[in-house]
């Protein structure tokens, strides 16, 4: 369940070229800290960042599952293994 203490990575204003490094590092750090649920804020304007983030999450072995936040389509909720 998302709370105000859920770790969040905000990608607003970032270029697609740096998204892979930012998302991968965020996942690795939270996995090491034992966090099982994180959120990635990508916005919802053109879906370019959304598609890129979901591609990265799909290929990451530390990610158990992920889905768009039903209450905020500009955010993806990620569950780590």
Per-residue pLDDT tens over the stretch 20-64? 999 999 999 999 999 999 999 999 888 899 999 999 999 999 999
- Domain hosting 30: range is 17-38+46-63
Total-model pTM: 0.94
In-domain check, residue 28? yes
Report d(CA 11, CA 57) in Å as an integer: 14
- What's the pLDDT band for 2 if we cut at 50, 70, 90? confident
CB 24, CB 50: distance < 8 Å: no
pLDDT at 70: 94
In-domain check, residue 52? yes
In-domain check, residue 77? no
Domain count, the chain: 1
In-domain check, residue 11? no
In-domain check, residue 74? no
In-domain check, residue 26? yes
List the 8-10 sheet strands across, edge first: 8-10, 37-41, 72-80, 63-69
In-domain check, residue 53? yes
């Amino acid at each position: 369940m998302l709370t105000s203490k859920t770790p969040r990575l905000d990608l607003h204003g970032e270029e697609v070229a740096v998204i892979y490094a930012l998302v991968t590092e965020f996942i690795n750090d939270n996995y090491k800290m034992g966090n099982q649920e994180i959120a990635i804020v990508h916005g919802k304007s053109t879906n370019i960042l959304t598609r890129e983030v979901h591609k990265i999450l799909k290929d990451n072995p530390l990610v158990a599952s992920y889905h768009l936040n039903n209450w905020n389509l500009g955010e993806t909720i990620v569950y780590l293994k």
